[in-house]
Amino acid sequence: MADAFRERLGHDFGEPELLAQALTHRSHGARHNERLEFMGDAVLNCVVALSLYERHPRTDEGDLSRARASLVNRDTLARIARQLGLGEAIRLGEGELRSGGADRGSILADALEAVFGAVFVDAGFEAARRVIAAAYGDELAQSDPEALAKDPKTRLQEWLQARRVAVPEYAIVGTHGEAHAQQFAVECRIPALGIVAPGAGTSRRAAEQDAADRAWAEVTAQAAGGRRDRSS
C-alpha cells in the first residue's frame, strides 16, 4: 500500500524510513509522524503562500492570507489525502483502525502534512514544492483569492443566487464513530442542477462545508463545460 501511495505522491525517497514515519500514527508506535507534521505544516504554508503571491500580484495581504487559510485547512488537506489514497497506506493502532481512523479527516490531514514534511527533510524545499504543487493540482493552479477568502457554503450560495438558482439543501445522511470522535456524513443537494455532493466532517458544520466545496467543484465544472459547448 505504501509503495502505491509513494508512486502517486511522485517522490523517490533517499531515506524511505522518513515516509514510513510520516505514515505512522501515534497510536501505532513511538516513532510516529508528529515531528514531521510540524515540519510539513510550515513548508506547506510557505509553498502555498509563495504560489498565491506569484500568481496574484495585485491581491492584497488580507485576501492572500484568507486564501492560504482555505487551501491549508484540515478539510482541504483531508480531501487531497483521500484523492491520493493515503488512508490505505497509513499505519494505525488497532483501536483507531476499528473506529474508522483510516478515513478520519483529522488523521488524514495530519498525515499528509507529515508526508510533505518528510519530503522536505529528505530532499529540500524545491522537492517539497513540486510534490505539494502536484498534490494540490487545480486547487493552486486555478486559485482565486477572492473566492477562497469566502467559506465554501457562502461562495456556493452567492454563485447560485447570482444566477437565480435556488440555494442548496443540506441533509445529514449518517453518523459513525465513537462519541468522542464522531463523523458526520452530509449531502449538499442542488436539484435544479442535478447535483448531490457528499461531505464528511467531525461536526455538522464541517461536513456541510466539505459538501459545499465538492458541490462547488461540480457547478464550476458544469459551467466550464457549458462555455466549451457554446464556443464549439
Domain locations in the chain as residue ranges: 2-143, 152-231
When the pLDDT of each residue in the chain is averaged and rounded to a whole number, the result is 89
Q: How far is it, in rounded angstroms, from Cα 187 to Cα 190? A: 10
Share of the chain above pLDDT 90, in %: 55
Predicted confidence band at 176 (pLDDT cuts at 50, 70, 90)?
confident
Residue 231 has pLDDT above 60, yes or no: no
Q: What's the confidence (pLDDT) of residue 150?
A: 74
Q: What is the DSSP string of 166-187?
A: PPPEEEEEEEES-GGG-EEEEE
Phi and psi at residue 142, to the nearest 5° = -110, 20
Q: What's the confidence (pLDDT) of residue 115?
A: 98
Residues in contact with 118: Cβ distance below 8 Å, sequence separation at least 6, in sequence order: 13, 18, 19, 21, 22, 36, 39, 40
CATH number 3.40.50.620 is the correct assignment for the domain at 2-143: no
Q: What's the confidence (pLDDT) of residue 185?
A: 94
Class of domain 152-231: alpha beta
Task: Point out which residues pair with 197 in neighbouring strands.
Answer: 188
Residue 7 has pLDDT above 80, yes or no: yes
pLDDT (mean) for 1-26: 91
Helices H / strands E in the chain, number of each: 12, 3
pLDDT in tens, 206-218: 899 989 988 988 9
Nearest CA among 40, 25, 198, 203 for reference residue 101:
25
The catalytic residue positions are 41, 113
pLDDT in tens, 180-191: 678 899 999 999
50-59, 103-112, 173-182, 198-207: least confident range: 173-182
